[in-house]
Amino acid sequence: MQTTPSLTADERPLVLLAQPLFPEFAATLAGRYRFVLAADADAASAAEARVLLVPGLKPVAAEHLARLPALELVLGTSVGVDHVDLDVCRRRGLTVTNAGAAFADDSADYAVGLVVGVLRRMAAADAYVRRGRWAADGDYPLATKVSGKRVGIVGLGNIGCRVSRRLAAFGCAVSYHSRSPKPLSPYTFVPSLLDLAAGSDVLVLCCALTEETKRMVNREVMEALGKDEVLVNVGRGGLVDEPELVRCLQEGVLGGAGLDVFENEPAVPPELFGTDNVVLSDHRAVTTPESVCGVLEVITANLDAFFSGRPLVSPVQL
């Protein structure tokens, strides 16, 4: 990353913060920009601010945006931007950016780890050994193989493309569903999510959460996926009808799930805690020290580009 000489306080461009900066970000950016928490901004700062930086998934609602008449850019640090009121941004002509591809490799690695973990029951086998049951009761029951499975990817963006390539290397037959076909993709496009589920052994969710995709994986989709098949979600919890997911797992309608995201985080349905066909994690697929450095580079590039009048590096299509 290029370094720029520190500016005096008066020279530094103003950037409002939706919430405090992560320590790693503050250490790098503080000498270059003048940061003010939006909640603490006085009338002059609110009237002047052209950029709102949104660390993490802090909700940015219409009333927050209404206080900022000069706002031009909402700068996101995550891949998804469902925590921002995009309708208001569209109406006002605001530009929104996200983390671009900074998290894509780590998310894809983790998604594949969840696929392997669920199909091979790795977490359950680990718990079985730790409880001393291997010596007492014999081998843990066999689980199914990964190689050769039919994998359906929902959302063939930065993350979905990488998941596809990784699982294709396992010998999996990959197909995908998205808003439109990707002409350069070597994988099979399936126009209907229901059809994709019916033709898959594993369904991996990598798409953004929007009004159109909210609870798109409902009971009908899970029934189409089937009793021996598994669902993996590294997108957003709201993509899945969570109460129905719990019921489908309890009733044997669905074979298993690997879940890194949940509808009301950090709340997790307690019915999932005692199941051995589910792998749970705490919305950590995207985050490694390397990905934090990557998103910091994207944020810095977007800020530098905005204040110098150059094209932004990761604008979101609204």
Instruction: Give the pLDDT score at 8.
Output: 58
Of the residues 24, 90, 220, 265, only one is catalytic, namely: 265
CA distances (Å), origin 174, targets 108, 166, 277, 290, 317: 14, 10, 23, 28, 26
Of the residues 12, 67, 283, 297, only one is catalytic, namely: 283
Q: Which portions of the chain are predicted below pLDDT 50?
A: 1-4
Instruction: Give the pLDDT score at 1.
Output: 45
Three-class SS of residue 84?
strand
- CA-based R_g, the chain, Å: 22
131, containing H or E segment: none
The vertex-208 CA angle with 169 and 189, nearest 5°, equals 50
Q: Is 283 a catalytic residue?
A: yes
Q: Is 177 a catalytic residue?
A: no
Helices (H), 4-155: 23-29, 43-48, 62-66, 86-92, 104-119, 122-130, 133-137
Instruction: Give the pLDDT score at 69.
Output: 98
Q: Which CATH number is 104-280's, of 1.10.357.10, 3.40.50.720, 3.40.30.10, 3.10.450.50? A: 3.40.50.720
Domains 14-101+289-308 and 104-280 agree in fold: yes
176, containing H or E segment: strand 173-177
Question: Any idea which fold 14-101+289-308 has?
Answer: Rossmann fold (3.40.50)
Of the residues 64, 162, 236, 244, only one is catalytic, namely: 236
Instruction: Give the pLDDT score at 30.
Output: 85
Q: What is the 3-state secondary structure (H, E, C) of 254-313?
A: CCEEEECCCCECCECCHHHCCCCCEEECCCCCCCCHHHHHHHHHHHHHHHHHHHHCCCCC
Instruction: Give the pLDDT score at 6.
Output: 54
Instruction: Give the pLDDT score at 24.
Output: 84
Q: Is 236 a catalytic residue?
A: yes
How confident is the model over 20-45, as pLDDT tens digits? 998 888 888 988 999 999 999 999 99
Structural domain boundaries in the chain: 14-101+289-308, 104-280
